[in-house]
């Protein structure tokens, strides 16, 4: 896989796999979708009755493309823009498709920025992430074999942005790693404060659970929050029993009541408390050993 | 691309939908759908979803806008040998698209209609336009900052852009935003002071 395009390159279906015809979309395709009907993208030609493509070179169409709905959506749906881009590309009309691409990107721009904001302290990485998002949207908007864009554009866009955000983190070594046996490796980069506090506090003192929002080192820092959450997952892999991991997540990270945890896990409350205590002790030992190993490796 | 990757994307999109519906077992369900071999990818994706969901207004900060602009130029250069012409959308088109008028918009912004008209006619220097005006226009016209920036830039020298004869001197006749506000005949002293305070920093 070409890393530059992130995991979301996977959105492309081959013609053989596609449940949707891989041919170039004709405007008849637009007319056949609820989305297009709602968007008015298939207004029939008054003389021929045939559907007419969205032509951004027409001032009236351009006005429609910019018009918002009361719920802050667009009167002409993003999906219809994508179909029109492919239509004009197929007709070898780069001017029309180019304008539509620019309009689509203008619409997507706030989402690109929001999803890359966690990288703001590293402008070079933020630029990389946004450039990759934009490039992928352009390429896939012009690819008639790509199907996710026209299924649900909002979810497609979020998915694409998150994949690219994560790819940048991976490239920078900011995500957690495992060795060949699947064991966690590397020093904790950002241990969640709440998890450590929950591990260090006596069991009897833990009847006032912390909320999920406090399970991270700094809730205002999304990148920190993410790293904390990633690190929590890594640490929890020290617990061999899935039930113990589940108890730890429910109690230490999600802050649920013992009674609730017992119901979810289908065991007694006492069992939950005992298993939590054992898991907590094990995690403390693992983290201490990990820190000591790292310090000795660094000659501290 | 293989079938597994397509299936993984489907699970990710379903996870996004489930998170939007605040389903408590969204992740658990996604993990069961994705299979053990994709568990790490799904957990990573879910964490990315959570981590990138908490930004709102910050994303429109000037430094972020500059980064986004550079990124867009890079992406276009990577895809196209010739960058497509920008959509020719003027401020007037945006106002019309929202069913508003220049007067109504000026009133909403607390800005003189003559100032807004000058902006629309491309007579105000782009460099002097305060960020607050872009933000206010973005909100009032329900448009992205990119759309507003492009529309204002398009308005700056429409005659030049369209190659009309005798338009070369148009750019020289531009005035600063502050000058336009000071000479406005339709603004109260408070409105004037408010906008001048913003443009002073530029």
Q: pLDDT of A155-166, one tens digit each? A: 999 999 999 998
Size of interface A-B (CB pairs under 8 A): 196
Rounded alpha-carbon distances, angstroms, from residue A29 to A21, A35, A122, A140, B188: 10, 11, 43, 18, 54
Does the structure show a pLDDT above 80 at B103? yes
Confidence of residue A273 (pLDDT cuts 50, 70, 90): very high
Reduce the secondary structure of B12-81 to three states and give it as a string.
HHHHHHHHHCCCCCHHHHHHHHHCHHHHHHHHHHHHHHHHCCCCCHHHHCHHHHHHHHHHHHHHHHHHCC
Return the pLDDT at A230. Answer: 61
Within 8 A of A99 by CB-CB distance, chain B residues are 84-88
Within 8 A of A103 by CB-CB distance, chain B residues are 87
Question: Mean pLDDT over residues B23-51, rounded?
Answer: 83
Does the structure show a pLDDT above 50 at B179? yes
Write down the pTM of the prediction: 0.63
In chain B the first and final C-alpha atoms are separated, in Å, by: 50
ipTM score of complex: 0.75
**Cross-chain residue pair A115–B78, CB shorter than 8 Å:** no
- Among residues B19, B150, B133, B50, the alpha carbon closest in space to that of B93 is found at B150
Confidence of residue A269 (pLDDT cuts 50, 70, 90): very high
Rounded alpha-carbon distances, angstroms, from residue A17 to A12, A137, A140, B64: 10, 21, 17, 40
Return the pLDDT at A105. Answer: 94
**Cross-chain residue pair A135–B79, CB shorter than 8 Å:** yes
Token look-up 């759908």 returns: B33
**Cross-chain residue pair B52–A115, CB shorter than 8 Å:** yes
Return the pLDDT at A213. Answer: 33
- Among residues B103, B120, B118, B115, the alpha carbon closest in space to that of B195 is found at B115
**Cross-chain residue pair B9–A11, CB shorter than 8 Å:** yes
Confidence of residue A207 (pLDDT cuts 50, 70, 90): very low
Return the pLDDT at A144. Answer: 94
Within 8 A of B91 by CB-CB distance, chain A residues are none
Radius of gyration of chain A (CA): 25
**Cross-chain residue pair B64–A126, CB shorter than 8 Å:** yes
Q: Give me A186's structure tokens.
A: 């590397």
How near does any CA of chain B get to the CA of A241, in Å?
Answer: 15
Return the pLDDT at A86. Answer: 94
Across A200-209, B7-16, B55-64, B130-139, least confident range: A200-209
In chain A the first and final C-alpha atoms are separated, in Å, by: 40
Within 8 A of B64 by CB-CB distance, chain A residues are 113, 117, 120, 126
Does the structure show a pLDDT above 90 at B89? no
**Counting beta carbons within 10 angstroms of the beta carbon of residue A13, is it exposed (0 to 12), middle (13 to 18) or buried (19 or more)?**
buried
């Amino acid at each position: 896989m070409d890393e530059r395009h992130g995991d979301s390159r996977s959105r492309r279906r081959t013609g053989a796999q596609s449940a949707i015809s891989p041919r170039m979309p004709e405007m008849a395709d637009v007319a056949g979708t609820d989305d297009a009907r709602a968007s008015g993208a298939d207004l029939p030609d008054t003389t021929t009755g045939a559907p007419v493509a969205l032509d951004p070179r027409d001032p009236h169409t351009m006005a429609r493309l910019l018009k918002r709905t009361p719920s802050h959506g667009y009167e002409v749906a993003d999906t219809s823009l994508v179909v029109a881009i492919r239509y004009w590309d197929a007709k070898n009309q780069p001017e029309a498709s180019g304008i539509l691409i620019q309009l689509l990107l203008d619409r997507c721009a706030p989402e690109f920025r929001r999803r890359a904001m966690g990288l703001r302290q590293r402008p070079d990485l933020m630029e990389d992430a946004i450039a990759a998002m934009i490039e992928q949207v352009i390429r896939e908007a012009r690819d008639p074999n790509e199907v996710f864009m026209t299924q649900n554009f909002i979810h497609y866009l979020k998915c694409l942005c998150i994949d690219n955000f994560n790819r940048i983190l991976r490239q920078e070594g900011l995500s957690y790693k495992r060795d060949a046996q699947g064991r966690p490796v590397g020093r904790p980069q950002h241990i969640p404060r709440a998890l450590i506090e929950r591990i260090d506090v006596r069991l009897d003192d833990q009847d006032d659970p912390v909320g999920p929002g406090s399970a991270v080192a700094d809730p205002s820092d999304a990148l920190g929050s993410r790293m904390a959450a990633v690190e929590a997952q890594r640490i929890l892999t020290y617990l061999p029993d899935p039930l113990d991991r589940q108890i730890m997540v429910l109690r230490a990270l999600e802050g649920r009541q013992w009674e609730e945890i017992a119901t979810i896990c289908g065991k007694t409350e006492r069992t939950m408390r005992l298993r939590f205590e054992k898991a907590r002790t094990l995690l403390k030992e693992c983290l201490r050993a990990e820190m000591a190993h790292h310090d000795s490796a660094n000659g501290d | 691309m293989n079938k597994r990757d397509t299936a993984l994307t489907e699970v990710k999109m379903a996870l996004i939908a489930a998170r939007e519906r605040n389903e408590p077992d969204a992740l658990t369900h996604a993990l069961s759908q994705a299979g053990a071999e994709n568990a790490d990818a799904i957990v990573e994706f879910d964490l990315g979803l959570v981590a990138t969901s908490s930004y709102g207004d910050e994303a429109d900060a000037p430094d972020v806008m500059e980064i986004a602009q550079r990124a867009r130029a890079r992406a276009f250069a990577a895809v196209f040998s010739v960058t497509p012409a920008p959509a020719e959308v003027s401020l007037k088109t945006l106002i019309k698209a929202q069913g508003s008028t220049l007067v109504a918009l000026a009133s909403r912004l607390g800005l003189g209609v003559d100032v807004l008209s000058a902006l629309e006619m491309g007579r105000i220097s782009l460099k002097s336009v305060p960020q607050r005006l872009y933000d206010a226009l973005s909100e009032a016209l329900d448009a992205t900052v990119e759309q507003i920036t492009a529309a204002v830039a398009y308005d700056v020298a429409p005659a030049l852009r369209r190659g009309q004869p005798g338009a070369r001197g148009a750019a020289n006749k531009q005035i600063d935003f502050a000058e336009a506000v000071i000479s406005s005949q339709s603004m109260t002293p408070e409105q004037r002071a408010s906008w001048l305070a913003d443009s002073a920093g530029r």
